Amino acid sequence: MRKKLVAGNWKMHGNLLDNDTLLNALNKDIAVLGNEANCAVCVPYPYLATVQSKLQGTNIKWGAQNVSQHEKGAYTGEVSAVMLNDFNCTYVIVGHSERRMLYGESNQVVAEKYLTAQKHKLVPILCVGETLEQRDSDTTEQIIEEQVNAVLALAGVDSLSNAVIAYEPVWAIGTGKTATPQQAQDIHHFIRQGIAKQNAEVAAGVTVLYGGSVKANNAAELFAMPDIDGGLIGGASLIADDFIAICKAAHS
Ligand code: PEP
């Protein structure tokens, strides 16, 4: 039985004051939900220290939104996995479509980031997903297969025992357009089947999240699908009531 996970992706939002208010609300309402599902927030680097001190000892985990594929060195502006360890991060997002599209991260670079994260005991949340153009030209499955296979080629299928995959159709991110539960389920099933060709046990155990305009009013029906194990939440993770409601949907 896979445990559901709801992970917030704050992106480049927040400030010390607003974060404090948001985290106080999450602490109060998520603490009482128990441990039937996992909840986490992936926050901008400068806030990791305060997030760590607010969330340690609670049932909310935390992480970052990106990591360098390199261990250390002359990489101005980058942050290493070892640095994330200093703040006891559990998760790190790799290959978010905004990183792939705005910062030119290739499948190979994403795979290297995934590998480096795991080497340092971080759980990578590997984002995959197609653009609208790719969906319209019927290449969704091919694109996702290439994105997943790049990671499997470098890190091996067993690595998925300590990783999370997030299926995030690019056309649904921040647009208010959500994939229907069936559309999402079909791709989640496709991802799991692809992994099963290499290792059925790993495929059955891997957490596959859906991301793309998940809100308080659509989370429950998405999470009810058999291959959807929770969500990666952008906009709604910044609104305490909405994020709490989504976490509750994962617990029911
Ligand atoms: C995301 O950025 O990962 C995301 C899913 O965003 P939103 O929920 O705002 O669509």
Distance (Å, whole) CA 241 – CA 156? 39
Q: Which residues are catalytically annotated?
A: 96, 168
Instruction: Name the nearest CA neighbour of 93 among 69, 114, 111.
Output: 114
Give the C-alpha distances (Å, rounded to integers) separating 109 from 3, 122, 173, 191, 193: 29, 17, 22, 20, 24
| pLDDT digit string, tens, across residues 36-54 | 999 999 999 999 999 999 9
The DSSP H or E segment spanning 63 is strand 60-64
Kindly report the three-state secondary structure assignment for every residue of 164-192: EEEECCHHHCCCCCCCCHHHHHHHHHHHH
The residue whose CA has the least distance to atom 8 of ligand 1 is 234
Residue 19 Cβ contacting ligand 1 at under 6 Å: no
Distance (Å, whole) CA 173 – CA 183? 15
Residue 94 has pLDDT above 90, yes or no: yes
Distance (Å, whole) CA 93 – CA 184? 20
Residue 69 Cβ contacting ligand 1 at under 6 Å: no
Distance (Å, whole) CA 151 – CA 38? 24
Residue 242 Cβ contacting ligand 1 at under 6 Å: no
Residue of 99, 128, 173 best suited for mutating to test ligand 1, as the one with most atoms within 8 Å of CB? 173
Give the C-alpha distances (Å, rounded to integers) separating 252 from 13, 104, 220: 29, 39, 8
Assess contact for 227 and 188: CB atoms under 8 A: yes
| Nearest-atom index, ligand 1, CA of 213 | 10
Assess contact for 5 and 229: CB atoms under 8 A: yes
Residue 31 has pLDDT above 90, yes or no: no
pLDDT at 174: 87
Residue of 92, 102, 213 best suited for mutating to test ligand 1, as the one with most atoms within 8 Å of CB? 213
Residue 42 Cβ contacting ligand 1 at under 6 Å: no
Residues 6+ apart with CB under 8 A from 156: none
Instruction: Name the nearest CA neighbour of 187 among 162, 168, 212, 160.
Output: 168
Distance (Å, whole) CA 63 – CA 45? 9
| DSSP letter, residue 32 | G
pLDDT at 176: 86
Residue 233 Cβ contacting ligand 1 at under 6 Å: yes
**Structure confidence at residue 22 as a pLDDT band (50, 70, 90):** very high
| Tokens 């305060």, located at residue | 50
| pLDDT digit string, tens, across residues 198-207 | 999 999 999 9
For the entire predicted model, the pTM comes to 0.98
pLDDT at 193: 98
The residue whose CA has the least distance to atom 3 of ligand 1 is 234
Residue 173 Cβ contacting ligand 1 at under 6 Å: yes
If one counts every other C-beta atom within 10 angstroms of the C-beta of residue 227, the result is: 18
